[in-house]
Amino acid sequence: MAGLREFADRLWRGEIDTVIDAHPVTVPWNDRQAEEIADGVLYYKGLAAATTIDAGGALVMLDTGAQNDAERLHAAVRAWRPAPRLAAAVFSHHHVDHVFGVGPFERESEDRHSTRPLVYGHERIPEHFRRYQRTRGWNGAINRRQFARPGLPLSPRFEWPSDYRFPDVTYRDRLRVRVGDLTLELHHARGETEDATWTWVPERRLLAAGDLFIWATPNAGNPQKAQRWVGEWAAALRQMSALGAELLVPGHGLPIFGAERIRQALDDTAGLLESIEGQVLALMNAGASLDRVLHEVEIPAAALAKPYLRPVYDHPQFLVRNVWRYYGGWWDGEPDRLLPAPRDDEAREWVALAGGLAAVLARAKALRDEGDLRLASHLVEVAVRAEPSSREAHDLRAEVYETRATLEPSSMARGIFQYAAASSREGKRDGFDPN
């Protein structure tokens, strides 16, 4: 048992780097991926976490992993508890890294002629599974960008799933479920998704936060995903913090042991979210444009320095945008962007006015050399749009984004930069664009 506890303790004290060694969506600490973290509690970490609890003669699972976790998770659970049937599984939300582990247990219950497990989840989960079925191409494309890595070929055969295990029992606000000698208290919140559930198991003082806690700046801003809720997320964390949990199992990253640490982690996370939402709303209420909001909100640096809040996955500025989108809609407040010309046409105008492509690339290089990679990015985008067949323009664009990627702690932003760089290395603005 010491392995994971010790690793989690070092993680808490900031001795392990969450950029690489314990990134929320990597598999940390050892190859076995599963460990008993408290009496009768098996913690499994794949892309996401899945926690199995022995309820006395039956098992319950809080989240169930991704497609490629299903067999390993089942094997780990059966190595730990060979006999008891899986009675219940709770999906903390609809995301594909949390909802695919029930299958092997269902097949097993058929073989053993035992009762199939019941899956519990929020009432909005089914419509999100159906949304996924309608947007498979889009979800394939955005995830190839979000998780782009240097050296990966540009067209991995990544396919978004089409078959989902729909919940058997859904609920709206709260649900109490008794399994064996345990009570599962399911609570709904809107946070990363609108169908989020956090679960409290009072007998074990165990809190399963789902993706409302992931050992990083909350994923409340993701640029390519549906609406997320910053303020309601904070409120859910405050509610969880008041429980006095002794064991926190997060959606990603490692468990947190002990009431004091758990309260601190949840309150600090809530505070970060409240600060961002409060500042955005104050500026919006003063009539500010999105441009002003993006550059005037001050992200609390002390919060981002905490080992469990570092911006290694989502980027704090993306959270600002999501607050804007929720309260303000999609328009950024710039009149020329309301009904714009095609961006390629606009780019050709700017390049012609600058005196041609060479002048634009020279200035972009100078900005890059001065370290102003944001401005250099704007100029290389104009360059490749105005002259999409220019090898020189694509090479400089690739260099600018490769440099940005090396400097960027947020893996979500890094993936998009790396994807753009790799596309330009192939002479295209978007490597997956079939045209």
Q: Which residues bind Zn ion (CB under 5 A)?
A: 48, 95, 97, 211, 251
CB of 24 to Zn ion, least distance (A): 8
Amino acid at site 225 = K
The tokens for 352 are 């012609």
**Alpha helices, DSSP H, located in 13-124:** 70-80, 103-111
CB of 53 to Zn ion, least distance (A): 19
Q: Residue 48 or 351: which CB sits closer to Zn ion?
A: 48
CB of 377 to Zn ion, least distance (A): 29
CB of 92 to Zn ion, least distance (A): 8
Q: Residue 69 or 387: which CB sits closer to Zn ion?
A: 69
Q: Residue 97 or 314: which CB sits closer to Zn ion?
A: 97
259-277 burial by CB neighbour count: b if 16+ within 10 A, else e? bebbbbbbbbbbbbbbbbb
Phi, psi of 309 (to 5 degrees): -130, 10
CB of 48 to Zn ion, least distance (A): 4
What is d(CA 313, CA 309) in angstroms, rounded to the nearest whole number?
10
* Sign of the CA dihedral running 175, 170, 78, 161: negative
CB of 318 to Zn ion, least distance (A): 16
Q: Residue 49 or 421: which CB sits closer to Zn ion?
A: 49
- Dmax (CA) for the chain in angstroms is 77
The tokens for 315 are 């980027």
Q: Residue 94 or 394: which CB sits closer to Zn ion?
A: 94
Q: Residue 35 or 192: which CB sits closer to Zn ion?
A: 192
CB of 252 to Zn ion, least distance (A): 6
CB atoms within 10 A of CB 333: 16
CA distances to 73, 187, 190, 199, 352 from 121, rounded to whole Å, are 20, 10, 13, 11, 56
The tokens for 162 are 């089409």
The tokens for 29 are 């600490």
Helix, strand, coil percent values for the chain (each to nearest 5): 45, 15, 40
Amino acid at site 9 = D
Q: Residue 95 or 310: which CB sits closer to Zn ion?
A: 95
CB of 240 to Zn ion, least distance (A): 17
Q: Residue 35 or 211: which CB sits closer to Zn ion?
A: 211
- Nearby residues of 112 by Cβ (< 8 Å), 6 or more positions away: 85
